Amino acid sequence: MKKYRHIMVALTALVSVSCADWLDVQPSDQVSEETAFGSVAGFRQTLNGVYVELNSDNLYGKALSCGMIEVLAQRYDVSEEFTRYYPFTEYDYTGATAQDQISSIWETAYTLIANVNKILENCEKRRGTVLSDEYYHIIKGEALALRALLHFDLFRLFGPVYAGNETLTSIPYYTAFSLNVAPSLQASEFMENVIIDLENALVELKDDPVITNGVAGKTGDSFLAYRNLRMNYYAVEALLARASMYIGDTKRAEELSQDIIDQHDRSSHFPFITSQQITASEPDRIFSTEILFGLQNLNVDLLYSSLFDASRLKSESLLAPRSTIISSLYTNINDYRYRTSLRTTAEVGGTNFSVFQKYMGGDSLYMQMIPMLRISEMYYIKAEIQLGKGQDADAMQTLTEFLKHRGVDTPGILTPQALLDDEYRKEFFGEGQLFFYYKRLNRTSIPNATSTSGTVSMSSAEYVLPIPDGETQYN
């Protein structure tokens, strides 16, 4: 894998507790290992650099949040003239434009994994000399979780549909920094590595200040503050629940999701959004209080203006769902998600679209967040497991109780499975989870982007992205 290389990213020192300063980044071409890891500040800056780079357009700053991955989920009615994204509506991965984007995702993710592995290597080398026990465990725990996160999402893109294909060859899992190429693993072995990293991360994060102090973290230490902007203990539990569902380990997924729900019920951590917050002069469109882990993206307003602003964009550069599809999906106009992000409509090129406004941006932290893991997914996992046990009434109750926190007192007349499907479509709009939900369940057809009743046929050809050219010969 010729593009797997060591590129360290340096950040400015944490000179204050402000969140903007926390993410003030100054990239450099090369950073020596001694500079990066010879001090606590170096460790903090290097780990923060990984979080900042997760905001890359090739990762969660666009492609894996609201861009390519949502086109694959049939979110938007994409014009044929929008050549960057239209091939993905057709699941045509062969053209140069599609291949370039796919290669960029692969390269950026594996480069970050290399950096994370350098952090982990130096955690062990410098424990007790540079790192106190407290910092050692927090940094190691977050790094293990980040390694699992990046690998897992690469697997969800490039790996096989998991159920029934556990022995198929997938992609490499790098457990240490090396310039040598790691072998591609069987799907089950790959996912075993994901699970191991996440379980180990939980052990390291057992004293995470998020457990006692919530997202505020540790008073007086900006590195241990803003815990919802880092892979904190509960975020790792949630990611492990997601990964456990992916491999069919519903027992572990149930334990983890219920633990987060119980913590949510008995504490003030990650409270549900309120009607006051979504109707404020600067509405919280992200439902930021519920986010277990998110990224602060200081350029989120540019994301909106470049992709979603129907007042200024033409069809050949606009990502937007048809208003008829949004109306048929959000049948209750009081639904907070509809009211904050999809209620506005615009006519572009003779077609009526709903304008996706979740990422309009602003000065407040909650207006700059890209959600990665949120509390709602734990309720959905709980309901799905109940459905799998034949407990349909319990599943409906779980979803109905949750929907009260979305301004929906009574859901429409749907089966619990249909309601759950609709919830994944509603809840994670622009967050990159719907395509992976369909792939995990190996749905043979999914709703299309142009008709309220139309579908698109799906198979492994659509669900599995090709490993970039120039990489397969090494794996």
Dig out the tokens for 165 from the structure. Answer: 């294909």
One-letter amino acid of 380: Y
One-letter amino acid of 363: D
Neighbours of 390 (CB within 10 A): 9
How far is it, in rounded angstroms, from Cα 237 to Cα 378? 10
The whole-number average pLDDT for the span 154-169 is 98
Does the pLDDT of residue 118 top 80, yes or no?
yes
Does the pLDDT of residue 473 top 80, yes or no?
no
Dig out the tokens for 112 from the structure. Answer: 């970050």
C-alpha torsion sign, points 198, 204, 210, 215 = negative
Residue 364: the pLDDT is: 84
Instruction: Tell me the per-residue pLDDT of 204-230, one tens digit each, with 9 for 90 and over.
Output: 999 999 999 999 999 999 999 999 999
How far is it, in rounded angstroms, from Cα 325 to Cα 323? 5
**The domain defined by 19-296+361-464 carries CATH number 3.40.50.1220:** no
What is the chain's alpha carbon radius of gyration, rounded to the nearest angstrom? 21
How far is it, in rounded angstroms, from Cα 407 to Cα 335? 5
How far is it, in rounded angstroms, from Cα 73 to Cα 63? 12
Q: Give a three-class secondary structure readout of 280-346.
A: CCCCCCCCHHHEEEEEECCCHHHHHHHHCCCCCCCHHHCCCCEHHHHHHHCCCCCCHHHHHHCCCEE
Q: Report the alpha-carbon angle 332-342-301, nearest 5.
A: 150
What are the domain boundaries of the chain?
Answer: 19-296+361-464
Does the pLDDT of residue 142 top 60, yes or no?
yes
Instruction: Tell me the per-residue pLDDT of 320-349, one tens digit each, with 9 for 90 and over.
Output: 999 999 999 999 999 999 999 999 999 999
Q: pLDDT grade, residue 414 (50/70/90)? A: confident
| Entry pTM | 0.93
How far is it, in rounded angstroms, from Cα 348 to Cα 319? 11
How far is it, in rounded angstroms, from Cα 172 to Cα 186? 9
**447: which DSSP letter?**
E
Instruction: Tell me the per-residue pLDDT of 420-432, one tens digit each, with 9 for 90 and over.
Output: 999 999 999 999 9
Between helix 233-246 and helix 376-388 the angle, nearest 10°, is 30
Does the pLDDT of residue 21 top 90, yes or no?
no
Whose tokens are 């939900």? That residue is: 437
CB 257 within 8 A of CB 381: yes
How far is it, in rounded angstroms, from Cα 378 to Cα 254? 9
Maximum C-alpha span of the chain: 66
Q: At 371, which helix (H) or strand (E)?
A: strand 369-374
Dig out the tokens for 141 from the structure. Answer: 């725990």
Query: Which residues, in sequence order, are CB contacts of 151 under 8 Å at separation 6+?
Result: 113, 173, 174, 190, 193, 194, 197
Residue among 94, 112, 183 nearest 153 (CA):
112
Cα dist from 340 to 156, 312, 431, whole Å: 29, 20, 15
Does the pLDDT of residue 458 top 70, yes or no?
yes
Dig out the tokens for 139 from the structure. Answer: 């940094």
Residue 6: the pLDDT is: 37
Percent of the chain with pLDDT over 70: 92
- Secondary structure (DSSP) of 98-138: HHHHHHHHHHHHHHHHHHHHHHHHHHHHTBTTTB-HHHHHH
How far is it, in rounded angstroms, from Cα 110 to Cα 95? 23
